[in-house]
Chains A and B, each alone.
Chain A
Amino acid sequence: MSKTTRSLYNWIYVLPTLVLIIFIFIIPIAYNIWLSFQEKTIGGEAVFAGLKNYQRLLASSMFYKSVGNSLLYTFISVTSKALIGLGVALLLNKKFWGRGFLRGFSILPWAFPSFVVAVLFWFNYDYRGTFNTIFKMLGLQPVHWMSYENAMWSVILINIWHGWPFFFMGYLAGLQAIPTDLYEAAEIDGANVYQKFIHITVPQLKQVLLTVMLLSTMWTLGEFTQIYMTTGGGPVDATLTIPMATYKIAFLTEINFPLAAAYTILVLPIYLFLIYFTLKQMGE
């Protein structure tokens, strides 16, 4: 078979995937870009509006607030999940009785779908809910978990509770892959626990650490269900994140699809940067 024929054959094999990508990825993105330059009422025809949608978004405080909220939500959530996950992974990497049960039990929060977690915490956060009942029993004042001041921290807590086992599983798998003789050699050289962690565990886990963190960052940035079902982006704009803002522009406060399309284009660089960083990391 000639080189040309082989090359053509290869193209034939990837063609179905290519067509799928064109239909479910390229065309919708192209349509989204086209739509972002239009102005349109419900049931009306689209009219070219130039950069009007972009100007409107860049002039609105909602845009900056939602991006800021998203970054805060993602940074605090991911950092906390990473630290908790790493701590628990280090603990459960040790041999002790009941370790298997605890490992299984630790994965439980991650096994729940997002909407179940949201409903669960809805009951916990209610003014007369689980948390405040416990507070009352301890003689503490009840907390208004979903108030303007506390709502963001409350949704962050939900995300941490739901997401840390993912880090734990990734880190535990990474820890188990580190050869024990590295630690034995370090002990012979007189390294303490801290030195072993910094000079052996962290470098050996680096790849897993980064991959898990990047994946979680992308998922957390895109988290919609938990916020939608607990605060709906409120009170006011306290928990208005990028996915919530997109939904609100398209279906709520604006009912304006072109504006929502423009919004997604404006926030796209954040996601593209993450994707690039992830691919680069995986390539290395």
Chain B
Amino acid sequence: MSQKNNTKIIAIAVLVVLIIAGIGFFLMQQPKQPQPTTPQQPTTPSQQTATTRPKLVIWGRSTFTPPQMYWIEKKVREWAAKNNVDVEITWLSVTDIGKKLIAAVEAGNPPDIVINGHPVAIFAEKGLLIQIDDIIEKLNKSDIYEIKLKECEWSGHYYCLPTMFEATWLHVRWDIVKKANAENLFPLKTLDDFYTAAKVLNQVEPGVYGVGLPLGLNGYDTWWTFLHFWGGYGGGMLTDRSVAGVIMDKEPYRTGLKKAFEIERKIWLEKLTPPDSDQWVDASNNNAYLQGKIAMTMNPASIWYAVMTQNPALAANTKLFLLPVSVDCGDESVFIFKTTKYPDLAKDLVYYLYADKEDYRKGFCEASGLYALPIFKSQMQVISKDWKAGKYPALGEDPAKAVEKIKFMETAAFPLGERTTPSETFREGFTWNEMIQRVVIKGEDPDKVIDEYAAKLREEVKRVYGG
């Protein structure tokens, strides 16, 4: 090979590599936001051939009650078989799903459908989700609880459908209550009674703490347990989507928040909760109750489900009561990203999940030991009738009455009562947990901490809504 040719080949090779590198660099510079796609031709099962078989990617939030996942899987696969569609279902843990969804959206590659997942407002307020008003109408809008509809409504339209009510119950060891002669304390009349009950039940049996109070940094339970006190004592976060709407540091909301800190701080300092509560994650209070370490704890009925299925002796000694302030933790919803290639199919699947309401009640709600309560009034009435007939003796209250008492939703900014990006961001990011730990565990001055987190919230509101 001549020297001239060598030089030519080398020069061409260098040039090609540089062009490839340049194109790559240019592509990496392009913003990778999920863009709404123009739907392809409407796909109906009859039009599909083996070569163009559509595929839906589904992410689900795994729950503490496996029958719920079995039911979802069964329904999805049933629908896929009927419609000649491929489905890929990935189950993610409660602590993972939010972060993974955010990362997927940022990478421009979200799933088609999310079932039983969260957050929603973060995506809905950015216009990344498909409107599902028609599905809501088809399911008979008036049969869905208003509070559940509100959870999914932005600017007069619906972008998700909640999968359940997840009422909070106080799980109580009735044998210990009897030993302490404290039957008259239950159901609790005021939030202050929570502290009283914890004190009365503490160490009645050696080694059994009065209450299991989640205080860990990396679990949602810390936040929503605190929400009962924060909201219940008259605190607040946001009144509207503006910087001026941040009210957590203004009176009377500041006093409400300080009272919430105070009750949890007293429980912590007086050792009424296990010493490792400051590391608890979402399953920890469940396990502490199951292992007999605590006399009572707040939780949705997933604990009750575990007690029933794993420890009949403990189930016989357990009673469930509503708290004086009721919080719905069921922010998990079904929603569809606009990036889906098959919006019609995705919507059809979402409708299919709920269309047979009786099947939803039996397969998703009753099979979970009422950890999930139905979002449909008609189905709640069936459960209420069963409760009155004595089917659920451990429940200290009619579930239908219980859901009507719900004042707060876990991811809704209160007193606004709507899901907002900042309220979801602070919940998803465990920012509130950090605030709680600083006062309750570390013992920092509550006023100083409130000022700091109010400033953080204002900054976030400004970042998201401007102004």
CB within 8 Å of B: which residues of A? 1-2, 4-5, 8-9, 11-12, 15, 19, 22-23, 27, 31, 34, 39, 41-46, 126-127, 144, 146-148, 231-237, 248, 251-255, 257
Q: Would A251 and B99 be within 8 Å (CB), given that A15-B13, A23-B24, A43-B126 are in contact? A: yes
Instruction: Decide if B41 is an interface residue (CB 8 Å cutoff).
Output: no
The answer to whether B33 touches A45, judged by C-beta atoms less than 8 angstroms apart, is: yes
The answer to whether B278 touches A235, judged by C-beta atoms less than 8 angstroms apart, is: yes
A27 to B275, CA, bound (A): 48
Q: Using CB atoms, name the residue of chain A closest to B291.
A: A128
Q: Would A8 and B7 be within 8 Å (CB), given that A127-B276, A236-B217 are in contact? A: yes
B275 contacts across to A, CB distance below 8 A = 127, 144, 147
Instruction: Decide if B203 is an interface residue (CB 8 Å cutoff).
Output: no
Interface string of B10-25 (1 = CB under 8 A from A): 1101100100110011
Instruction: Decide if B279 is an interface residue (CB 8 Å cutoff).
Output: yes
Q: Would A234 and B279 be within 8 Å (CB), given that A44-B126, A251-B102, A257-B106 are in contact? A: yes
The answer to whether A146 touches B279, judged by C-beta atoms less than 8 angstroms apart, is: yes
The answer to whether A253 touches B431, judged by C-beta atoms less than 8 angstroms apart, is: yes
Interface size on B, residues (CB 8 A): 47
A255 to B99, CA, bound (A): 9
B106 contacts across to A, CB distance below 8 A = 42-43, 257
The answer to whether A27 touches B279, judged by C-beta atoms less than 8 angstroms apart, is: no
CB distance from B459 to the nearest CB of A (A): 8
A144 contacts across to B, CB distance below 8 A = 275-276
Q: Using CB atoms, name the residue of chain A closest to B126.
A: A43
The answer to whether A42 touches B123, judged by C-beta atoms less than 8 angstroms apart, is: yes
A39 contacts across to B, CB distance below 8 A = 463
The answer to whether B14 touches A252, judged by C-beta atoms less than 8 angstroms apart, is: no
Instruction: Decide if B428 is an interface residue (CB 8 Å cutoff).
Output: yes
The answer to whether A127 touches B218, judged by C-beta atoms less than 8 angstroms apart, is: no
| Interface CB pairs A-B, < 8 A, 7 | A2-B3, A8-B7, A43-B33, A43-B123, A126-B276, A251-B99, A252-B428
Q: Would A11 and B14 be within 8 Å (CB), given that A127-B276, A144-B275 are in contact? A: yes
A11 to B10, CA, bound (A): 9
The answer to whether A4 touches B7, judged by C-beta atoms less than 8 angstroms apart, is: yes
Instruction: Decide if B34 is an interface residue (CB 8 Å cutoff).
Output: yes
Total A-B contacts with CB atoms under 8 angstroms apart: 123
B13 contacts across to A, CB distance below 8 A = 12, 15
A2 to B278, CA, bound (A): 72
Q: Would A255 and B126 be within 8 Å (CB), given that A19-B21, A234-B437 are in contact? A: no
The 3 closest A-B pairs by CB, nearest first: A234-B217, A232-B218, A43-B126
CB distance from A185 to the nearest CB of B (A): 57
A231 contacts across to B, CB distance below 8 A = 217, 279
Instruction: Decide if B430 is an interface residue (CB 8 Å cutoff).
Output: yes
Q: Would A44 and B421 be within 8 Å (CB), given that A147-B278, A236-B217 are in contact? A: no
A83 to B42, CA, bound (A): 70
B206 contacts across to A, CB distance below 8 A = none
Interchain CB contact (< 8 A) of A41 among B6, B218, B434, B463: B463
CB distance from A92 to the nearest CB of B (A): 37
A252 to B223, CA, bound (A): 14
The answer to whether A235 touches B279, judged by C-beta atoms less than 8 angstroms apart, is: yes
A39 to B128, CA, bound (A): 19
The answer to whether B102 touches A255, judged by C-beta atoms less than 8 angstroms apart, is: yes
A22 contacts across to B, CB distance below 8 A = 21, 25
Interface string of B173-189 (1 = CB under 8 A from A): 00000000000000000
A251 to B25, CA, bound (A): 26
The answer to whether B442 touches A148, judged by C-beta atoms less than 8 angstroms apart, is: yes
B464 contacts across to A, CB distance below 8 A = 41
B34 contacts across to A, CB distance below 8 A = 43
The answer to whether A27 touches B28, judged by C-beta atoms less than 8 angstroms apart, is: yes
A15 to B99, CA, bound (A): 38
CB distance from B441 to the nearest CB of A (A): 5
The answer to whether B3 touches A146, judged by C-beta atoms less than 8 angstroms apart, is: no
CB distance from B165 to the nearest CB of A (A): 27
CB distance from A238 to the nearest CB of B (A): 9
CB distance from A256 to the nearest CB of B (A): 8
Q: Using CB atoms, name the residue of chain A closest to B20.
A: A19
Instruction: Decide if B105 is an interface residue (CB 8 Å cutoff).
Output: yes
The answer to whether A236 touches B31, judged by C-beta atoms less than 8 angstroms apart, is: no
B438 contacts across to A, CB distance below 8 A = 236
CB distance from B292 to the nearest CB of A (A): 12
A9 to B24, CA, bound (A): 24
The answer to whether A146 touches B429, judged by C-beta atoms less than 8 angstroms apart, is: no
Instruction: Decide if B283 is an interface residue (CB 8 Å cutoff).
Output: no
Instruction: Decide if B109 is an interface residue (CB 8 Å cutoff).
Output: no
If A15-B14, A235-B216 are given as contacts, then 9 extra A-B residue pairs at C-beta distance below 8 Å, sorted by A number, are A27-B28, A34-B29, A147-B278, A234-B278, A235-B442, A236-B434, A251-B103, A252-B431, A255-B429
Q: Using CB atoms, name the residue of chain A closest to B277.
A: A127
The answer to whether A27 touches B25, judged by C-beta atoms less than 8 angstroms apart, is: yes
A239 to B430, CA, bound (A): 16
The answer to whether A41 touches B217, judged by C-beta atoms less than 8 angstroms apart, is: no
B28 contacts across to A, CB distance below 8 A = 27, 31
Instruction: Decide if B300 is an interface residue (CB 8 Å cutoff).
Output: no
A45 contacts across to B, CB distance below 8 A = 31, 33
Instruction: Decide if B425 is an interface residue (CB 8 Å cutoff).
Output: yes
A9 to B437, CA, bound (A): 62
Instruction: Decide if B256 is an interface residue (CB 8 Å cutoff).
Output: no
CB distance from A51 to the nearest CB of B (A): 16
The answer to whether B442 touches A42, judged by C-beta atoms less than 8 angstroms apart, is: no
Q: Would A255 and B31 be within 8 Å (CB), given that A5-B3, A9-B10, A15-B13 are in contact? A: no
B residues 117-143 near A (Cβ < 8 Å) are: 122-123, 126, 128
The answer to whether B6 touches A5, judged by C-beta atoms less than 8 angstroms apart, is: yes
B429 contacts across to A, CB distance below 8 A = 248, 251-255
Q: Using CB atoms, name the residue of chain B closest to A248.
A: B429
CB distance from B407 to the nearest CB of A (A): 27
B25 contacts across to A, CB distance below 8 A = 22, 27
B463 contacts across to A, CB distance below 8 A = 39, 41
Q: Using CB atoms, name the residue of chain B closest to A142.
A: B275
